[in-house]
Amino acid sequence: MVSLLQLDGLGKRYGMLPSQVLSQGNTFDLYVMDAALTFENYHNKKAMNNGRDPLPDYTNNELLEIFNKGKERANILSSE
């Protein structure tokens, strides 16, 4: 089932009641809303960061994995 926040987001964006969104909306609408909100969020973060691209929200495990991959590549290059 569609979350209440998604219904609310679609209703606000298109000026519809939640019941109208339920009866007339489809998954394409959700896809477009998600893409639009992601785009808006990116530019809001960029504006708060003085025009520079915002830092991605990596978890500690993701950062460690990226670090280890870079370390492995450096070891391979240094041994060649």
Per residue in 12-66, pLDDT (tens digit) is: 989 999 999 989 988 888 888 888 888 888 888 888 888 888 777 788 999 899 8
Provide the residue range defining the domain that includes 43: 4-79
CA–CA separation, 44 and 73 (whole Å): 35
In the prediction, which pLDDT does 55 show?
74
- Backbone φ/ψ region at 14: left (φ over 0), alpha (ψ -120 to 50), beta: alpha
pTM over 0.85: no
Q: Does residue 1 carry a pLDDT above 80?
A: no
Number of neighbours of residue 2 by Cβ within 10 angstroms: 14
Q: Which of 55, 56, 52, 1 is nearest to 25 (CA)?
A: 1
Q: How many domains does the chain have?
A: 1
C-alpha 63: how far from its chain's center? 18
* 67 or 54, greater pLDDT: 67
